[in-house]
Amino acid sequence: MMKSFIFDLDGVIVHTDHYHYLGWKKLADRLGIYFDERINNKCRGVSRMESLAIVLGKRAVDFTPDELISLAAEKNEYYRSLLQEMSAGDVSDDVLRTLKELKKRGHKLAIGSSSKNAGVILERCRLTDYFDAVADGTHISHSKPDPEVFLKAAGFLGEQPADCIVVEDAVAGIQSGRAAGMYTVAIGDAVKSGIADRNIAKLSDLLL
Ligand code: BG6
Ligand code: MG
């Protein structure tokens, strides 16, 4: 059975994870809240509002629900301005080569992302046509580690979960893939979790 690949987007296909970091850092600095890469790693794979709760920490109780929504919008506005600078040049040769070769070998490819900005990122980076399906933050009510987004992606592909391979940089994403009953591959920050079926150093290791 030819396996299908479901890729996380931010931090796996493109380095928008760094732009998320810059967005949260700017908000945290304005509010006088300490924020660093370690805290940012906890935001990987989780939704915008859940990320905000992580960024605010104990300070979350100081804000009304409406204020929380406007803080998340403030971060998203700055993040979107960074996305506007993205182009095809932001996709590494290693990632492009891997996607092309997997398609050539006959694998179906999908995106499984918690982000509501996935569509705009794929368009700006000229990546939309590489994927047979995109499941993102606009399709789900529960973000990773819940399996919803990966099950949605498998459904869009018309594949059984057991025939899908998840590629993730978030610990929450590996948990999500496992809960979906899929084979999991960790890259980047997720490698440290030690719970993935396989760890890789770069995307093209998938071709080995
Ligand atoms: C995930 C990121 O892909 O999307 C998270 O790893 C982010 O860091 C989440 O919080 C939601 O993204 P967005 O673009 O909808 O704010
Ligand atoms: Mg990610």
Fold of 4-14+88-207: Rossmann fold (3.40.50)
Q: Distance, CA 188 to ligand 2 centroid (Å)?
A: 9
Predicted local distance difference test score (pLDDT) of residue 19: 97
d(CA 69, CA 72): 5
Question: Does the structural domain 17-83 have CATH classification 1.10.150.240?
Answer: yes
- Cα separations (Å) of 158 from 27, 109, 155, 187? 40, 12, 5, 26
Predicted local distance difference test score (pLDDT) of residue 1: 78
Q: Distance, CA 2 to ligand 2 centroid (Å)?
A: 25
What stretch(es) of the chain map to CATH 1.10.150.240? 17-83
Ordered per-residue pLDDT tens for the chain, 208 residues = 799 999 999 999 999 999 999 999 999 999 999 999 999 999 999 999 999 999 999 999 999 999 999 999 999 999 999 999 999 999 999 999 999 999 999 999 999 999 999 999 999 999 999 999 999 999 999 999 999 999 999 999 999 999 999 999 999 999 999 999 999 999 999 999 999 999 999 999 999 9
Q: Could you tell me if the CB of 117 is within 6 A of ligand 1?
A: yes
- Backbone φ and ψ of 168, nearest 5°: -140, 145
What pTM was computed for the model?
0.97
What stretch(es) of the chain map to CATH 3.40.50.1000? 4-14+88-207
**Complete edge-to-edge strand list for the sheet that includes strand 109-112:** 133-135, 109-112, 4-7, 164-168, 183-187, 198-200
